[in-house]
Structure 1
């Protein structure tokens, strides 16, 4: 299936640079940029297609973590071949042993124009990630959900959970039952507000038993944090279901007993998915990666009844594509601060 790609032409146009100044785009700058969900999905899909065509590079991420596990940091380098952009993304989270309100999270994306050799922008990457990840889940659902899927359950109400349902409705408008499991009242409120902002006539059903809800859902998107009480196992997943893991909320059996496993990147899954290992510390082998699925070269789903597990780990090429799109829109609107960093 292919969605209209209204933004590909615009997104591929180079951003003109006249000097060696670096444009800094803050959280506030990016928050003021209006971009449709369809634009985001189209941009992310194009990044996957370009990667599968062999025109982009997405090396495995580097990770550092102290022995006590109180923090984690990632570094990701990539190149977008359709936009001729090279970028470096960094991600650092502190306080993993504490509650959400005590944690600190910083992520940045720095873009360079590989035609002119000049910097494009350095930006806070938090909004990029909050859009890119649910867009990928929506694309996974579009390609891997059973035909006629009607119901979806989102587990978690944090950053990644709040736009999960609007993006799912963007790629699968036929969904008519939307369910949510969350333990933070403010998060539940935020999910409902985000849904109504994009789909005013839709509402979400709040559930208190994640396992029972999962047994009735065609699509499950697990986005919760590490402290969630939800751990939906394979025995709660009905035939034909699609389970997408973004954060936490699914038990390892959902992976190991799946009929088919799809990963955005098998290498990335081996780095960030170790909490899904079995008793021997092993992860289930991946049957297919997502880039060839999205291009139609590999089947996402083979039968209507197989239970599919999909692992959604971020690929830096999708951050680059979406970051470039935001930089382009910011430049058009005169947003950001120019810094003579190399002078």
Structure 2
């Protein structure tokens, strides 16, 4: 009797492999370049919304040249924190692209955290000033932390970090835990304006907001702004008046506009991020440009990292758990 089996990887299994942020950044950069060359099938992510502030998204992607593909099923529930649960929980399925058979089911929560930060790092590599030294972070949660770690890898010149969080204790923990880890001075600020002004790179890594945070006059010449909330943290004037607007996928960005993002209208697209990474379009061209990147998040970033993890497991001698999906024949 033939069995269809698939590998099961828990978050503990994934972490045991020791994949580092530098490798994740390289993988994400490779994936984005493929997207820029038109080598990825990555449709806009559909979602369901059980509560006003929640989402569950289905995120499929297929790399044509690499012949790898799969799907991430990911939820975002901001109120989970009160229940002692992660706000973001993801699961990833990889499939054999020749047969469609599932070959691996793995945790996608950690992958989501690191690949999102890696996208910011790749964006900064091409769009931030080369002499960037001051990073401003709004939100001291998972993404505020991971973005700092990733950005410090591509910009070791970052020597000063300013952070604001509505939870002062979270901001203090951020400073106390990350400052010795990354070797930079971290200052906890009292308001968003203090973080934004004077920063070479601004990252907004907040939850869903009732109103925007970053005003146009705080978004200074030469700054790279990156919003991880589908435009919600940036006032419309700041978005519309940026010298260059970049996003990871224009069709998906328009899809999110139809769902309520960009309430003041979509800005003119300068380029998709992958087009910049593959060299079809330039990134930063002057030290005075204000570049805003609103990367919604693409399944391709998850799938290329997940597939690399799957390949790492295949060459390891440890026995990772396999599950039987079905039995065929007699």
Report TM bin, short chain.
0.7 to 0.9
Which residue pairs with 2:32 in the alignment?
48
- Runs of 4+ aligned residues of structure 1 deviating over 6 Å after TM superposition are none
Q: Write the mapping of 1:282-301 to structure 2, written as runs, cut at 5 A.
A: 282-301=265-284
The equivalent of 1:13 in structure 2 is none
Instruction: Choose which of 233, 239, 262 in structure 1 pairs with 2:215.
Output: 233
Secondary structure of the residue aligned to 1:286 is: coil
Q: Is the 8 A contact 1:163 1:191 kept in 2?
A: no
1:277 corresponding residue in structure 2: 263
Structure 1 residue 115: deviation in Å? 4.5
Select the residue among 152, 159, 162 that pairs with 1:169: 152
Instruction: Give 1:268's aligned residue.
Output: 252
Q: Report the CA distance between 1:130 and its aligned residue.
A: 0.4
Greater length-normalized contact order (CA 8 Å, ≥ 6 residues apart) = 2
The CA deviation at 1:217 is 0.2
Query: CA RMSD for the aligned pairs?
Result: 2.5
Once residues 98 and 57 of structure 2 are traced to their aligned partners in structure 1, the CA distance between those partners, rounded to angstroms, is 27
Q: Give the 5 Å matches for 1:1-343.
A: 20-66=4-50, 69-94=52-77, 96=78, 98=79, 100-102=81-83, 105-115=88-98, 118-184=101-167, 185-186=169-170, 188-190=172-174, 192-194=176-178, 196-197=180-181, 199=182, 201-227=183-209, 231-247=213-229, 249-272=233-256, 274-278=260-264, 282-331=265-314, 332=316, 334=318, 336-343=320-327
Secondary structure of 2:325's match? coil
Task: State the aligned residue count.
Answer: 318
Q: CA deviation at 1:337?
A: 1.8
Shift of 1:335: 5.7
Q: Which runs of 5 or more residues in structure 2 are unaligned?
A: none
Cα shift readout 1:201-258 (whole Å, capped 9, x = no counterpart): 3342222222122111010011111258870111111111111011253333321221
Report the CA distance between 1:40 and its aligned residue.
0.8
**Please, what TM-score do these two structures have when normalized by structure 1?**
0.84
TM-score with structure 2 setting the length = 0.87
CA distance in 2, matches of 1:284, 1:55: 26
Tell me how far apart the structure 2 counterparts of residues 326 and 190 of structure 1 sit (CA, whole Å): 28
SS at match of 1:91: strand
